[in-house]
Amino acid sequence: MIFRKTIGATVLTIQCCAQADMPLTFGSAIRVSHAASGGYELETGAINFGSGSGQQAVTFTPRGEGALWLIKGPYGEPTISSGSAPVECGAQIRLEHLSSKKNLHTHNFRSPLTGNQEVSAYGEDGEGDANDNW
């Protein structure tokens, strides 16, 4: 397991499927899938929430090309060169959606879809704030 975070009643766990001789590193592009749904993947598109933050919505969709996320170091820390450092278990990370260049983000707004804590895509060209840290 790389990390585990509870958001409202939802627990987000990312498990590393990398091989021992090929560790998951900062700068890796990954897919975040939901095992219980049969592999739906975390995705974001050009649709913004109509309430709450008004930021870009994040959902799980069937596997698609737009479901790739870049692993980055935490906000406020020096940039980690791509491929230079393995992601250790428990490390704080950010995930940047490769297509939109927005970070996976959370804050205290309620999701209009579930009533749980809203998760959105936020920032421009990979820049955001501390609520991008997971």
CATH number assigned to the domain with residue range 3-132, chosen from the 4 options 1.10.357.10, 3.90.1010.10, 2.30.29.30, 2.80.10.50: 2.80.10.50
Q: What pLDDT band is residue 63 in, cutting at 50, 70 and 90?
A: confident
Which pTM does this prediction carry? Answer: 0.81
Predicted confidence (pLDDT) per residue in 76-121, tens digit: 988 777 777 888 888 899 999 999 999 999 988 988 878 888 999 9
- Each domain of the chain, given as residue ranges in start order, spans 3-132
Give the gyration radius of the chain's Cα atoms: 14
Is 60 a residue whose pLDDT tops 50? yes
Top-confidence residue, 73 or 10? 73
Does residue 110 contact residue 117 with C-beta atoms inside 8 Å? yes
Instruction: Report residue 1's pLDDT band, with 50, 70 and 90 as the boundaries.
Output: very low
Extract long-range pairs of 6-14: CB within 8 Å, 24+ residues apart: 7/106, 7/116, 7/117, 7/119, 8/116, 8/117, 9/116, 10/116, 10/117, 12/134
Task: Please state, in angstroms and rounded to a whole number, the distance separating the CA atoms of residues 134 and 105.
Answer: 9
